[in-house]
Amino acid sequence: QKEVEQDPGPLSVPEGAIVSLNCTYSNSAFQYFMWYRQYSRKGPELLMYTYSSGNKEDGRFTAQVDKSSKYISLFIRDSQPSDSATYLCAMSGPSNTGKLIFGQGTTLQVKP
C-alpha cells in the first residue's frame, strides 16, 4: 500500500464547475500538507500549504485537511480552462525536514 493515494483520473469537467480533488494517506505522523499544480513539461507550482487539520482558502482554491480520517481535499471554484493541469498532493512531518511524500497526481481537464 502506498503512503499517499491519489486517483490519477483523468477528471474532465465543464468550465465553471466546482472541482474536488482528494488524497488519502496512511501515516498519522504527517503534519504538513501541500497541493501543487503542474503543467505539462513544467515544474510543480505551490498552490496551498497547510499545517495540521483545518481549512485554508486562497482565491478560488480551498484546501481541507481532516487528520482524523487521514484525508485531504482541494476544491477549485469557477474552474477555468487554464486550470487544466496535473494536481499533486504532498505531505511531510512531523519534524518538517522538508522531505515530501507525493501522491500520484490527478490530471484535470476543464472544457470551455
Partner 1 sequence: GAVVSQHPSWVICKSGTSVKIECRSLDFQATTMFWYRQFPKQSLMLMATSNEGSKATYEQGVEKDKFLINHASLTLSTLTVTSAHPEDSSFYICSYRTRDGPQHFGDGTRLSIL
Q: Which is nearer to partner 1, 9 or 17 (CB)?
A: 9
Give the other-Cβ count within 10 Å of 32's Cβ.
Answer: 18
By CB under 8 A, what part of segment 67-106 binds partner 1? 88, 90, 96-100, 102-105
Q: Which is nearer to partner 1, 17 or 49 (CB)?
A: 49
Whole-Å CA distances, 56 to 33, 49, 61, 73, 105: 11, 8, 8, 11, 20
Site string for partner 1, 11-50 (x = CB under 8 A): ---------------------x-x-x----xxxxxx--x-
Question: Any contact of residue 61 with partner 1 (CB under 8 A)?
Answer: no
Distance CA 13, CA 108 (A): 8
**How many residues touch partner 1 (CB under 8 A)?**
22
Q: Which is nearer to partner 1, 9 or 73 (CB)?
A: 9
Query: Tell me, what DSSP letter sits at residue 55?
Result: E
Looking at the DSSP bridge assignments, the partners of residue 24 are 5, 71
Looking at the DSSP bridge assignments, the partners of residue 61 are 58, 76
Q: Using CB under 8 A, list all residues that contact partner 1.
A: 8, 32, 34, 36, 41-46, 49, 88, 90, 96-100, 102-105
